[in-house]
Structure 1
Amino acid sequence: MSQSERSFISTANLVTLHFDVQQVDDLCMPKYSGSMLRGAFGTALRRLTCVTDLPACRDCPLKVHCRFPRIFERPALMPASVQAVNPYVLHTPPPSTYHSGDVWHFKMSIMGDAIGDSTLIIRAWQQALAQGLGVRAPFQRARLLYVRLGETLLFDHSDIDNSDKNSGKIKALPVTHSQIDCHPSGTPASVDQLDLQFLTPFRHQQKGCIVNQAQVLDTATFLASLYNRIRLCQRHHSPDIPWRIGYEDYHAFKADILQLDMTADIRPANISRRSSRQQRKIHLHAMIGCIHLSDPDRSGALERLLPAFRLGEQLHIGKSTTLGLGQYKIMAYTPNA
């Protein structure tokens, strides 16, 4: 693979939308806000699309024609034996207290057919924020200001007619090709060391159990699971145009990971979320921290793995990614002299 081919990875049918939000009511953003945001979005999306009001999509006779499960509950459309993956990933904001008038940001990556439903997705977020955030009423209202895709402005709150809060022009997105820059500006072309800093907890299953102790985590297997995450998303949401990450199979991917020196500086981060469907709190075991990677033998393994790690910044890694879990960013490049 040439240097020019390594610099960018083509990701057909995958885009990341950037949302700017202004609080109307004071909001204490929880430490792990993905469940709250996903719940508000799902409620608004169901309100816009569902015509049967059944409690679950799997038993609905109209589910194959409905846009709600196609976007939000993809497993309901698949046989129980099929490992389905929803076409979206939430990138949550940091915990903070936002007062009336404060502006905050979050992102949402969407894939495949969901890109064609981007107008509906943005409208659902507009209504979800207007209805308000929080785990119980009274909810804290907010206002969607802008939605961007790169430099393209898809939604501008100034277009809204004050007599109709659900108005406002939204630009539709075609199913498209995009590129991820594997060497953003200011980072060296040669990679010998990097850190994966987790911004939200990750959940990883080993031998049928979720890992909740640092000493139990098989770091190499956890990182190698990113390959399966990428391929599962691509198979479901871009089956005709593969995402070329430089590896044809899992074994080659893991072999490169095993060439690295790995240090996992992680700790437990158990999460409590409220399920509106089950009307109870659910406790999730997870881990958070940083994984340090280096290639002391200069084998080129990190260089080859970098496209997949960059793609993982959008797709996340581990379980419960639709809740925003498994979100990380590549923190540092330190090429050896």
Structure 2
Amino acid sequence: MTLTHRLSYLGSRYRFDCMFNNYPSLPEYPGSVLRSAFGMALRRIACVTNQSTCPGCPLINECVYTKIFDSGIVAQTTGISLTPYVIESSIVEPKTNSTDFMFGFHMVVYGIALKQLPLLVLAWQKVLACGLGKKRTTGKLVRVVCCQKGSQDVCVWREDQPRIIPHDTTTHLDIPVDKHEVVLHFDTPVRLQRKGKILGHSEITSADLISGCMRRFSAVVACSGEQIDRRSIRELTEQSKSLEDKKELKFVQYSRYSSRQRYEMQLPGLIGSWRIRGDLKPYLHFLYLCEIFHVGKNTSIGLGKYTIDPQFN
């Protein structure tokens, strides 16, 4: 029996179940498409000044839209840029009957976004009503289910009961006390960088992964108003250079179209398995937290998603 200790963080993972008359045409990693549509719908709902652009708006630092979706704008005046959600790229396998197509996607919500869950649900309703994909296939939101790891799924919103049901919004993680080996399986491309450069298979090290997980941890807890000692992060990163690893990763080129900047962006990354050995005790809570909140760049569109092999739990 593996000894564990429990850590808790404010944040929840939700599944949004949708129904379409026709199957919407979406890319392999649809997180970017979903995020773009979500942002436009959220702005239409939240904006009270009706300005064409956000810069220069007198309410910019208090606006729900900029705090949730466009935190980079807020950072220009506050110096703080935090994105309090992850739209997971992996679509739940579609189910079809004679007339309707059902599928779902997941969204990890924390920080200020968690307090605005009813607004997020309304935004997704608007997205589906306007349509998704190249053909703008319309649909409707059927239910929202809270899917906390290690807990039973709870339906918190239904089409016929359009109010959020009170539920536990805390993520509970049971972290092994003593573990010397983990295997991570990356389901979507992970994009880790060092000195501003995205790392390839031959350059990336376990220290880069640990550093990325600790930075991600810092961002997640900062969304709840907490901070961790940056000096301790640097010290732990230096210590992690002694870890051994075996990588079975391959390079993939993911592209996304930026509707705001109006050009296609190339986002290279790595997918596959990564085995890490050594004294993992100082790093386990970072690794297990990022299994839920992802790691690396572009986590908001679902990149950097991995699972920890249960064989090593």
User: Offset of 1:94 from its aligned partner?
Assistant: 4.3
Report the TM-score, using the length of structure 1 for normalisation: 0.80
- SS for the counterpart of 2:137 is coil
Residue 39 of structure 2: aligned partner: 42
**Partners of 2:239 and 2:33 in 1: CA distance:** 38
Q: Is the 8 A contact 2:252 2:271 kept in 1?
A: yes
| Residues paired across the two proteins, number | 305
**Partners of 2:154 and 2:270 in 1: CA distance:** 36
Which structure 1 residue ranges, 5 or more long, are not aligned?
160-167, 184-188, 296-300
Q: Is the 8 A contact 1:28 1:96 kept in 2?
A: no
How well do the aligned residues superpose, as a CA RMSD in angstroms?
A: 2.9
Q: Give the 5 Å matches for 1:286-297.
A: 286-295=269-278
- SS for the counterpart of 1:105 is strand
Residue 125 of structure 1: aligned partner: 124
**Partners of 1:313 and 1:302 in 2: CA distance:** 15
Identity of aligned residues (%): 27
Structure 1 residue identity aligned to 2:275: H
**Partners of 1:142 and 1:309 in 2: CA distance:** 37
**Partners of 1:76 and 1:238 in 2: CA distance:** 19
**Partners of 1:172 and 1:277 in 2: CA distance:** 36
- SS for the counterpart of 1:63 is coil
Q: Is the 8 A contact 1:203 1:287 kept in 2?
A: yes
Structure 1 residue identity aligned to 2:262: Q
Report the TM-score, using the length of structure 2 for normalisation: 0.85
Residue 193 of structure 2: which of 175, 200, 205 is its match?
Answer: 205
Q: Is the 8 A contact 2:85 2:109 kept in 1?
A: yes
Q: Is the 8 A contact 2:253 2:269 kept in 1?
A: yes
- Deviations 1:219-247, CA, capped at 9 Å, x for gaps: 32233221121112212x1225x689xx9
Residue 182 of structure 1: aligned partner: 175
The verdict on how the C-alpha distance between 1:182 and 1:133 changes in structure 2, with shifts beyond 3 A counting, is: farther
Structure 2 residue identity aligned to 1:60: C
The verdict on how the C-alpha distance between 1:313 and 1:248 changes in structure 2, with shifts beyond 3 A counting, is: farther
Residue 298 of structure 1: aligned partner: none
Q: Is the 8 A contact 1:24 1:142 kept in 2?
A: yes
The verdict on how the C-alpha distance between 1:243 and 1:329 changes in structure 2, with shifts beyond 3 A counting, is: farther
**Partners of 2:92 and 2:106 in 1: CA distance:** 15
Q: Give the 5 Å matches for 1:70-219.
A: 70-79=67-76, 82=79, 84-94=81-91, 101-134=100-133, 136=134, 138-150=135-147, 151-159=153-161, 168-171=162-165, 177-182=170-175, 191-211=179-199, 213-219=200-206
User: Offset of 1:81 from its aligned partner?
Assistant: 8.3
- SS for the counterpart of 2:36 is helix
The verdict on how the C-alpha distance between 1:71 and 1:81 changes in structure 2, with shifts beyond 3 A counting, is: closer
Q: Is the 8 A contact 2:94 2:104 kept in 1?
A: no
Structure 1 residue identity aligned to 2:5: S
User: Offset of 1:105 from its aligned partner?
Assistant: 2.5
- Deviations 1:114-138, CA, capped at 9 Å, x for gaps: 211110011111221222111x4x3
The verdict on how the C-alpha distance between 1:321 and 1:334 changes in structure 2, with shifts beyond 3 A counting, is: closer
